[in-house]
Amino acid sequence: MFEFLRSYIIYLALLSGTVGLIYLHKLPGNKAKFLLLLIWFSVLTELVGYYFTQWTGLLNYYVYNFYMFVTFVAYIILLRSLLKKITNRISAVLFLILFIVSFFLNILYLKKYII
């Protein structure tokens, strides 16, 4: 019943990415361009994730787990670049390291439950 909502998300991300490309010259800096890159990465991931099961016969957990890893790391790096206080920047790096370690430990030890 809600399968059609998934395609609307792809269209909205595609629309926002297209508008971002049209007005790329007006974006204020590299951080805004980085967000545009993340939007296009989301479009690509949604398209691949939508057809992944048909192409491979596997569940699309792999596509979306990779997407969540990349986007979360990218957002923490972006947040770190926006922070002014050195203690907050160090905290962001520590949380990034904690996330990466826990992500790979989760894959290492709980892989049998995902497959």
Length reported for the chain? 115
Contact in structure between 16 and 39 (CB atoms under 8 Å): yes
Q: What pLDDT, in 10s, does the model give residues 26-66?
A: 888 888 889 999 999 999 998 888 888 888 888 888 888 89
* CA-wise closest residue to 106 among 60, 69, 67, 57: 69
pLDDT at res. 6: 67
What is the rounded CA–CA span in Å between residue 92 and residue 40?
A: 25
Q: What pLDDT, in 10s, does the model give residues 94-104?
A: 999 999 999 99
Tokens of 113: 């439950």
